[in-house]
Structure 1
Amino acid sequence: MIINRKELAREKVKELQNGFSAFAETKEVADLIKRELAKLNLKVHEDVTDVGSWFIPEKAN
């Protein structure tokens, strides 16, 4: 099975837009997520661990 990393990142960004946390197992996917978030100007907290990165949406003031 071939995994399209760009599509995976887009799905994770959709989760974040809906208020859910998202996890990226690789640096490549995390970088794609960050790029998409920058385009959308969506604020998140990123928690980088040894096994991947958690993206947690920040609440709007």
Structure 2
Amino acid sequence: MIISRKHLAKAKLEKIKKGYSAYAETEEVAQWIEKELATMDIPVHIDRTPHGYWFIPEKQEG
């Protein structure tokens, strides 16, 4: 079964919206997630490693 990278990125973005961390193996998926996060008000720490990208939601105070 072939899974679209965009579909995969959307699923990871949903996890981030719920407050969970998400991991992207490819730069393409990570770029799509970053692009979508830029349009939302969700503070996220992005840990870029040689093996992939971790998107970790930051806790909001208040």
TM-score by length of 2: 0.90
Q: Confirm whether residue 14 of structure 1 aligns to residue 14 of structure 2.
A: yes
Q: Distance in 2 between matches of 1:36 and 1:18?
A: 15
Q: What are the superposed Cα offsets for residues 2-39 of structure 1, whole Å, 9 maximum, x if unpaired?
A: 12111111111110111100000000000000011112
Range moving further from structure 2, 33-42 or 44-53:
33-42
**Secondary structure of 2:39 counterpart:** helix
Give the % identical residues.
52
C-alpha contact (below 8 Å) 1:10/1:36 kept by paired residues: no
Q: Distance in 2 between matches of 1:22 and 1:35?
A: 15
Give the corresponding residue for 1:57. 57
Give the corresponding residue for 1:40. 40
Number of aligned residues: 61
Range moving further from structure 2, 34-43 or 17-26:
34-43
Q: Distance in 1 between matches of 2:18 and 2:51?
A: 24
Name segments (4+ residues, structure 1) moved above 3 Å.
none
Unaligned runs of 5+ in 1: none
**Secondary structure of 2:45 counterpart:** strand
Aligned residue type for 1:60: Q
